Amino acid sequence: MGIEGTIGFLGFGNMGQAIFRGLIDAGTVPANRLVTFDLDEDKMATAVELGGRSADSPEALASDSNVLLLATKPQHMGEALEAVRPGVSGDTLIISIVAGVSISSIQQALGQDTRVVRVMPNTPALVRAGTAAIATSENCTANDAQTVEAIFSAVGIAERTDEEMIDVVTGLSGSGPAYFFYMVECLANAAEKLGIPADQAERFAGETLYGAGRLLHESGESAATLRERVTSKGGTTFAALESFRQAGFEDVIEAGVWAAAARSRELGA
């Protein structure tokens, strides 16, 4: 769907830039209806180079935005909300991609009638392969939800969930890319110890990650089915997976997801 009005970006780091570029590339919103404010003038200059506009202050940004996307760091959210509040009207739709900050806390800062959508995206949005979970406040309209889905569909997939699941999604897909990067590092390190040159080991490990992800995405089959298909009883893959199980691999992964989810809750406390 097309999106009417102006979208403002408070904070123009990697994620903000990924969404900004995705909206332009997908033709969802023309660049001249995208406006930014960031304390880093170089980042705002980047937005202007891409065809967007810059605002003189957070208040001016909010006043100029029909949709205001909050992309600050969690520790700066309080002052960011205070700064935009004078420019937020009853018609402004607020989108927050800030980890750990609840819808209720945003409404408490901006007004209880403020329509707020909380989103947990992830960094593959930089290559338009992101995953975004969307939770809306009770007063959001169906059109609000569709608008947010259209924004994040420009950089990947977007699915709705309950807000109470956002912290879990943070531990799953929000932080998830780092888990796979770490596994590539570990695979490459293990291969290097067995004699493969470091750069070749990382290329092989990285391309294996890419290929496996693409196969999972395009085959339409479950991860379990694909794993079973490549695992012959008593073969090399079987030996590796048995070693993983004996070392408690599943427990390690579960503990990591739980830790990330718990930290997300702490950030919003």
Query: Which among 110, 118, 119, 106 is positioned nearest to 155, based on CA atoms?
Result: 119
174-267 CATH fold: ProC C-terminal domain-like fold (1.10.3730)
Checking if the pLDDT of 1 tops 60, the result is: no
Distance CA 182, CA 257 (A): 14
Contacts of 27 (CB under 8 A, 6+ apart): none
Please report the pLDDT score of residue 82 as a whole number. 96
Share of the chain above pLDDT 90, in %: 91
Residues spanned by CATH 3.40.50.720 within the chain? 7-169
156-191 pLDDT tens trace:
999 999 999 999 999 999 999 999 999 999 999 999
Task: Name the class of domain 7-169.
Answer: alpha beta
238-250 pLDDT tens trace:
999 999 999 999 9
Q: What is the pTM of this model?
A: 0.89
Q: Is 116 helix (H, G, I), strand (E, B) or coil?
A: strand
Please report the pLDDT score of residue 264 as a whole number. 87
Residues spanned by CATH 1.10.3730.10 within the chain? 174-267
Average pLDDT, integer, range 133-156? 95
Please report the pLDDT score of residue 267 as a whole number. 78
94-135 pLDDT tens trace:
999 998 899 999 999 999 999 999 999 999 998 999 999 999
Query: For tokens 């739980």, what's the residue?
Result: 258
Distance CA 257, CA 60 (A): 39
How high is the mean pLDDT of the chain?
A: 94
31-47 pLDDT tens trace:
999 999 999 999 999 99
Question: How does residue 75 score in pLDDT terms, banded at 50, 70 and 90?
Answer: confident
Distances (CA, A) of 2 to 41, 100, 131: 30, 30, 20
200-225 pLDDT tens trace:
999 999 999 999 999 999 999 999 99
Please report the pLDDT score of residue 3 as a whole number. 80
Q: Is 269 helix (H, G, I), strand (E, B) or coil?
A: coil
